[in-house]
Structure formats: structure tokens, C-alpha cells
Amino acid sequence: MAKKNQSVQAVRGMHDILPEQTPRWQYAENIIKDVLASYCYKEIRLPVVEKTELFKRSIGEVTDIVEKEMYTFDDRNNDSLTLRPEGTAGCLRACLEHGLLHNQVHRLWYMGPMFRHERPQKGRYRQFYQLGVETFGMADPDIDAEIILLTDRLWKKLGIRNKLRLELNTLGTTEERLAYREKLVDYFKQHIELLDEDSLRRLETNPLRILDSKNRDMQALIKNAPELMDYLSEDSLNHFEALIATLDSSGIEYQLNSRLVRGLDYYSKTVFEWVTDDLGAQGTICAGGRYDGLIEQLGGKENYATGFAMGMERLLLLLEQLDDVTVPRSVDVYMIRVGAEAEKVGMCLAEQIRNEVTGIKLQVNCGAGSFKSQFKKADKSGAEFALILGDDEVSRGEISLKPLRTDQQQKNISQSEVIQVLKELI
């Protein structure tokens, strides 16, 4: 048992996002929300815990996530519950449960923590945040193109477009994949002595994932494997060609990658990833595609769905590498008050300023202190200006305004004018 006085630490792989980091997160989140709003996507908020069965049925029993990464536990009623490892399953569950999928079209997004029991390393955690986007009810490839264009716009707004490349593939339908799967298994069985341990296991459970192997020794074998593209129906090929045509006419560059199979079972037709070389092994920032079959698999009627998930931590790691990212100030004005009367007047004045000056971030020094010590705090807060109230200012009905980041002089203004002055400055 832990000693009584020893402090309790966070769970391995689960991180606090500290106050000094949150402005950058909020900056990114605000841009994301603005971009989503400009495409008329609506937010959906979902529980972080779902019945274990939901993930088994949707993600697939033999995927890495379900086999070894889920946080599953029995609750007090002995129901098996799981902390969500991803958001698509819960989003679909909610839409089915509330009848949102009947003859309707939806463009949805959510943001929040996901949980996977993986080996923690840079860009890989046990609790991490994702932005998820899902669309329902649209069969044509124009919506596949739209979600890709949306992400492209997002990277541009965040200033990281040149760090990312788009990889694209098509997986066809489940039936087409099954036919291909047989050919692939035949091929790998002919070269069974070349398969590593992981691949031998996957040969029985999920042979397409062998194509995704990072093992160098297997690359030649993988390179010569049959191509899924040769087993696709006309419908699947047309879908892919139409998507490519839209991306071409929109000027979006992409690399076709026939080895891109994704870790989850539920994809069909389009799959894509946005990848960077700047984050080491954890290079995929955003991944998604079409998953038409999943709605039926979860008990709904035949329908259409596309979506993607983006890892917020990996995005933030990329943003940190930029030198010129302008995160908004968290304090505009810091109010210094010295003396009992100044403290009273200052607190009331601060309220009036917040009433009148839209959006101002005004921090009032609380807990007394000399001018000198309050100035130090004002400087540390990052504020652009200090408002200074001492007994002198109070007796004259004035307040001093001091720019903290330029050489401009401090000036006295009347308390009745301060709102107008700040309106012009902020």
C-alpha cells in the first residue's frame, strides 16, 4: 500500500493539460470550431462510457483496439462497460437510438477524450483527445471530398499545411474485400516462411493488416502481393475516380497508397490519412474514410456514412514547432490597486469596464501588495496595459494607464473616460 503522506500521481499515459498550455489548445479548438461552422457541421456530445458490446460489434473483434487496447470493466450491476477508444461507434449508437438516421442527412462533430491502453510515448497516450467528424445519409463521393477539403482548410488556417501530406486509398465493399482477402491469404500462404509472428497471427484473423506491417524484412513480400484495386467492382472504382476528380479540380494534392488499410474493420471505399514526417513514428494526425456498412452492422437500415478522427495532441505537437503561431493574449489589462479606497473603487470600476468593453480580458490584482510587487505580477501576466489606482488617483477621480510592452509613457485619465480609452485600445 502507498505510504500515507506520499502524493498520488496521475495514471501512466494520462496527462494534465496545464494552464500554461490551455491557451494554445483553445486557440486550435476555436479555429477548428470556426472551420466546422463554415461547412455547417453540428456538434453532438456523447458519453465517454458505452457498453463493451458496442465496440466489439463496430470496431471488430480482431482489431488491435478491441484485442488489446480497451479499458473495460464491470460496473456495480455487473454490466461490462468500456471507456470509449474512439467516437464513431458512440456517435452512431446515439443517432440510431434517437432516430436521426431515417431519411435524413447529417454532418456532425464532437471533441473529447478517448482511452486506449497503449505503450505511452510521444504522440501516443492512454487518454488522448480527438476531434471526430461524421456524416450520415450521403452516398456520393462529393461528401468524401468535402470532409477532405474541410481538413485541408483547417491545416491552412492553423498554418501547418506544408507539414502534412494526404494519402488516399479505396477499400471497396466488404464483399469485394472478402474476395480479395482469399487471394491475399493464398499469396501469403505460398510464402509462409517469410511471415513474422504478428503477420502469421493476422493471416488467420485480419490478413489485410499484414499490408500495413512496418517490418522492413517483409516489405518486398508486401510489395508483390495482389492489389485490392484489381478486385474492385465498377461501382467502387467509379466512386474513387469521382473523388479523385473532385480533389484534382480543387487543387488538393494527394498520394495514392494501396497499402493504406486502416486499423478498424468498418471502412468501405474511401480511406485517407493526413501524415507528417515531423513527429517521428506517430506521423498520422488525422485519419478517416467511408463506412457505409457500419450502420447496418449496428442494427440500423442500409445507409451511408463518412468521417474522420484527428488526434489533438499530435496536432498540438505540430503547432508547437511553429515559431510564429499567434496565440491570443490571456490578459489584456492588469489592474493594480494600492490602498483601501483604491481597492473598493477599483473593483467597481473593473465591473463597469467589463460591462462596457466587449471582450476585454481584465485581471484585477487581488490580495494587496506594494506597487512594486503588483507591477511584477502585471508584467508576468503578459498584459498589454496596467491600470493603476492609488490614493492619489482616487482623490483626483483619475486612474493611470501604463503600456507594459512599449516605451510609451504612463498617462493619467479621468475615471469617466477610461472605458472610452480602453474601447479604442483593445
Q: Which residues of this chain interact with ligand ATP, rule CB under 6 A?
A: 86, 116, 118, 123-125, 128, 130, 263, 282, 284-287, 309, 311, 313-314
Q: Which is nearer to ligand ATP, 91 or 342 (CB)?
A: 91
- Kindly tell me which of 272 and 375 has the beta carbon lying closer to ligand ATP: 272
Q: Give the residue with the Cβ less far from ligand ATP, 282 or 297.
A: 282
Cβ proximity to ligand ATP: between 310 and 342 the closer is 310
Q: Which residue is nearest to ligand ATP (CB)?
A: 311
Q: How far is the CB of 42 from ligand ATP (least distance, A)?
A: 21
Q: Which residues pair with 119 in a beta bridge?
A: none
| Residues 42-65 as b or e (16 or more Cβ within 10 Å = b) | eebebeeebebebbbbbbbeebbb
Per-position DSSP letters for 110-176, written without gaps between them = EEEEEE-----BTTB-SEEEEEEEEEES--SHHHHHHHHHHHHHHHHHHT-GGGEEEEEEE---HHH
Q: How far is the CB of 38 from ligand ATP (least distance, A)?
A: 23
In angstroms, what is the minimal distance from the CB of 306 to ligand ATP? Answer: 14
Specify the residue, 264 or 387, whose C-beta has the smaller distance to ligand ATP: 264
Whole-angstrom distance, CA of residue 236 vs CA of residue 238: 5
239-241-244-248 Cα dihedral, nearest 10 degrees: -140
**C-beta of 212 vs 343, nearer to ligand ATP:** 212
* Gap between the Cα atoms of 272 and 148, Å rounded: 8
DSSP class of residue 382? T
Candidates 167, 173, 177; CA nearest to 272 is 167
For the bound state, the minimum distance from the C-beta of residue 281 to ligand ATP, rounded and expressed in Å, comes to: 8
